[in-house]
Structure 1
Amino acid sequence: MADDHAAPASLLAPFDGAPPPAPAWFDATVAIEPERSTIEVLGTSIELLTWGEVGKPGLLFLHGNGAHADWWSFIAPYFAADWRIAAISWAGMGDSGWREAYSAETFAAEAFAAVEAAQLEVGGHKPIFVGHSFGGFPTLYCAARHAERLRGAILVDTSIQPPEKRWKGPPPRSGFGTKVYPTLEEALARFRLAPPQACENLYIADFIARRSLKEVEGGWTWKFDPAIWQRFSMPDLGLLLTEIACPAALMWGERSGLMHAETLDYMVAQMPKDVLRLPIPDADHHVMIDQPLAFTAGLRGLLAAWA
């Protein structure tokens, strides 16, 4: 996600608004454009991207906090030969509308509305959800409370702390995310990953950053709702871990600052014993940015286990 309050070092400023050079695999993958549409869910417009043929097994990608559906545009095409794929931008993020209040129930409604609109179940299979970071929270909720509707659920670097160390909510941050930058170049220079981490694949950071911004009067600003965390509610996540009732897997970056041994031990102890586990080497929290091809290969392996 973009975060004006993250680490001071700029990822993209050295390029002065020009895209960093990208390898051929990346250019070829993002050239496979999704079909773009919007759907109405509980009175809010939700951005929907789709790839692959209707009738093939369904796969729904769900992004993290402050991100958007195009975080999957360099991953999803690798699965399009065998899957019908969809990705959404959650309400309050990307090109989706904002809500007065956000909850597990509204996010679940958005996910299942995408399943219907993208026709992920036409082939006779229930869909598989893949949720990164915050996107793993609604994925977990669906795996626990709507398990009968899922073929499987994969949490990607979704951190759920032991109760005594659990996050108590954000402090008030007046004006967070609302600053307008006079030029696109200046806005791109302010893009950070949150939580802060190094980024070797700057061509991916640039691709994501350009799609995280919108042009407004006076310049450019971030697309996400800056007040989302002040208007958000979710059931006890630790309890939801114990209630997983469909095939599930946990992926994480081996260097992730959010997936310490204590956190992993707690999550694994709470989950059903048959939940698959897959660490991605040489990856931080943003696994698909740090190791996109290793992430893709690992995900293919997990999906093959449920074929």
Structure 2
Amino acid sequence: MSQNPDFSLPSPTDTASGPRRRSVQCVGPHGLHRMSYLEWGDARNPEVLVCVHGLTRNGRDFDDLARALAPRYRVICPDVVGRGLSSWLPVKDDYQLPTYVADMITLIARLDVDTVHWVGTSMGGLIGMIIASMPDNPIRRLVLNDVGPVITAASLARIGQYVGTAPVFPGFEAAEAYIRAVSAPFGHLSDAQWRHLTESSVREVEGGWAMRYDPGIGDPFRKTPTLEDVSLWPIYDAIGCPTLLMRGAESDLLTRETADEMGQRGPRARLVEIPGVGHAPTLMDAAQIAPIRDFLLGGEAVR
């Protein structure tokens, strides 16, 4: 397997009272790799919440959500392979949804639980959708953060312009400026929140700072034509569990038309729209965390 330069480093949040950094060995089309993850809360708690990040992000994105829900859940925040502290794949074409889905099934088996709740942002939501659409799947409640069964060509083109192309930044301030620029659709964040996102997104290398993901994750992405929208309605329609849909009101990846249709078919997702935000809500503040907490811990989803 291709070794992430940072794989052996401890998480800066590893403390006696904070999350625990662990890893699980997975198998892909071209061999073995390790997926790193953070575990919050009581390791003996049978109630498990899996939180999976977006395309170029990592499990640290869910620090605030995990901290809020750890009293009720064993919260698991993986770094999808090629990101964060997980291994890098030697064959870049393996950075595809089937690989990610297989890894998550291996992770759930490692956790030794039969069922989980799931929060997925963008790519993490697509992984959750695919798993939740399968017969006898373990997902009992599903939160899709700004993603659905239609991925717009415009959003794919925008993401393709920056994924895997970031330079080495001469200083941390330059890295933060880049994160603020490419993540502008996240909406208004405090300076402390931008700093957290930057600290978890970059690593120090010779000559400066680099993104904490394998640049190769962009290779298969750019090979996919983006001339038209991608439709995954048969997958969505097969989902049977209660589903909550979070949407940035200005999102270019999940249109309001698609969100409305998601409320009328398949699991008939309940929609919560976040004003002043594009793709995607960061789930870093109380106003965005509250509807997720209420949905996960409440009764059946509002239809």
**Alpha-carbon contact 1:91-1:97 (below 8 Å) kept:** yes
What's the counterpart of residue 20 of structure 2?
35
Q: Name the SS for the 2:215 alignment partner.
A: coil
**Alpha-carbon contact 2:259-2:271 (below 8 Å) kept:** no
Deviations 1:97-137 (A, max 9, x none): 22221222211122223323344x2xxx6101110122111
What's the counterpart of residue 249 of structure 2?
254
Matched, 1:179 2:167: yes
1:134-213 to 2 correspondence within 5 Å? 134-145=123-134, 147-161=136-150, 166=153, 176-192=164-180, 194=182, 196-197=184-185, 198-213=187-202
What's the counterpart of residue 105 of structure 1?
98
**Alpha-carbon contact 1:160-1:166 (below 8 Å) kept:** no
- The AA in structure 2 aligned to 1:75 is L
Offset of residue 166 of structure 1: 4.5
**Alpha-carbon contact 1:178-1:222 (below 8 Å) kept:** yes
What's the counterpart of residue 39 of structure 2?
50
Deviations 1:146-166 (A, max 9, x none): 55322121101114437xx54
**Alpha-carbon contact 2:169-2:208 (below 8 Å) kept:** yes
Q: CA RMSD in A?
A: 3.1
What's the counterpart of residue 216 of structure 2?
227
TM-score of the aligned structures, taking structure 1 as reference length: 0.76
What percent of counterpart residues are identical?
A: 24
Q: Name the SS for the 1:288 alignment partner.
A: coil
TM-score of the aligned structures, taking structure 2 as reference length: 0.77
What's the counterpart of residue 127 of structure 1?
116
Looking at structure 2, the residues matched to 201 and 62 of structure 1 have their Cα atoms a distance apart, in angstroms, of 23
- The AA in structure 2 aligned to 1:271 is G
Q: Name the SS for the 1:97 alignment partner.
A: coil
What's the counterpart of residue 108 of structure 2?
115
**Alpha-carbon contact 1:137-1:237 (below 8 Å) kept:** no
Deviations 1:263-298 (A, max 9, x none): 32343344333x333233554433235x62012111
Looking at structure 2, the residues matched to 236 and 40 of structure 1 have their Cα atoms a distance apart, in angstroms, of 32
| Structure 2 alignment gaps of length 5 or more | 1-14, 225-229
**Alpha-carbon contact 1:57-1:84 (below 8 Å) kept:** yes
What's the counterpart of residue 235 of structure 2?
240
What's the counterpart of residue 281 of structure 2?
287
- The AA in structure 1 aligned to 2:48 is G
Q: Name the SS for the 2:176 alignment partner.
A: helix
Q: For this pair of structures, how many residues does the alignment match?
A: 270
Structure number with higher relative contact order (C-alpha < 8 Å, ≥ 6 residues apart): 1
Q: Name the SS for the 2:106 alignment partner.
A: helix
**Alpha-carbon contact 1:32-1:77 (below 8 Å) kept:** no
Matched, 1:265 2:260: yes
**Alpha-carbon contact 1:250-1:277 (below 8 Å) kept:** yes
1:20-31 to 2 correspondence within 5 Å? none
